[in-house]
């Protein structure tokens, strides 16, 4: 007795079939190899420990494996979440400020000599407004913000340590500083 199976495609809001294969939850669980989370850092200006601190601030608990989270103390988890939320808040406000600067450069020359009072008032009132409850969805790439700028902002806001740029990779659980 062979049962006939009717396949029904799952469609997204854009009417494209959703991928239901082996890697459909890749972004949620990350890249794993032999049940260990693998972080492939691009060779750049930061070492592995600096990248770890940066990623922990940017992505919170998503940096750790399920096994690491199971062993981790609850207070440490709370601290990581607190730093992550503060990082999101600081970067969101910063992105809004940069968007406002771009907005001002574009619109102010166009509305300075106009007779429309509404346009002038709009530019004057809302040109520098920042609302931390609104999430700025503009990407860092669109705003021209690189990882180096983000790191400098996080150091300035005291989210990353002041000596972040001098940190060396961790050996045996101890943090080492570059010596001159």
User: What's the token pair of residue 134?
Assistant: 């609104």
In a domain, 114, yes or no: yes
Please provide the average confidence, as pLDDT, over all residues in the chain: 77
Mean of pLDDT values over 151-163? 95
Write out pLDDT tens, residues 122-151. 767 777 778 888 888 889 999 999 999 999
In a domain, 69, yes or no: yes
Domain assignment of residue 128, given as a range? 43-177
Write out pLDDT tens, residues 28-85. 455 555 555 555 545 578 888 899 999 999 999 998 888 888 898 999 999 999 999 9
In a domain, 49, yes or no: yes
In a domain, 14, yes or no: no
Count of domains forming the chain: 1
In a domain, 33, yes or no: no
In a domain, 78, yes or no: yes
In a domain, 21, yes or no: no
pTM for the model: 0.66
In a domain, 19, yes or no: no
């Amino acid at each position: 007795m062979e049962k006939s199976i009717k396949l029904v495609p799952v469609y997204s809001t854009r009417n494209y079939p959703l991928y239901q294969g082996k890697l459909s939850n890749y972004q949620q669980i990350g890249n794993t190899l032999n049940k260990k989370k693998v972080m492939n850092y691009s060779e750049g200006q930061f070492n592995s420990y600096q990248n770890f601190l940066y990623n922990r601030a940017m992505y919170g608990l998503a940096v750790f494996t399920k096994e690491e989270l199971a062993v981790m103390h609850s207070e440490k988890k709370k601290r990581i979440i607190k730093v992550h939320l503060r990082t999101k808040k600081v970067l969101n406000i910063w992105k809004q400020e940069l968007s406002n600067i771009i907005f001002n450069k574009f619109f102010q020359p166009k509305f300075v000599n106009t007779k429309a009072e509404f346009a002038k008032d709009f530019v004057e009132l809302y040109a520098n407004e920042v609302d931390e409850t609104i999430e700025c969805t503009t990407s860092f790439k669109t705003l021209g913000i690189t990882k180096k700028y983000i790191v400098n902002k996080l150091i300035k806001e005291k989210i990353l340590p002041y000596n972040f740029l001098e940190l060396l990779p961790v050996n045996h659980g101890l943090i080492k500083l570059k010596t001159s």
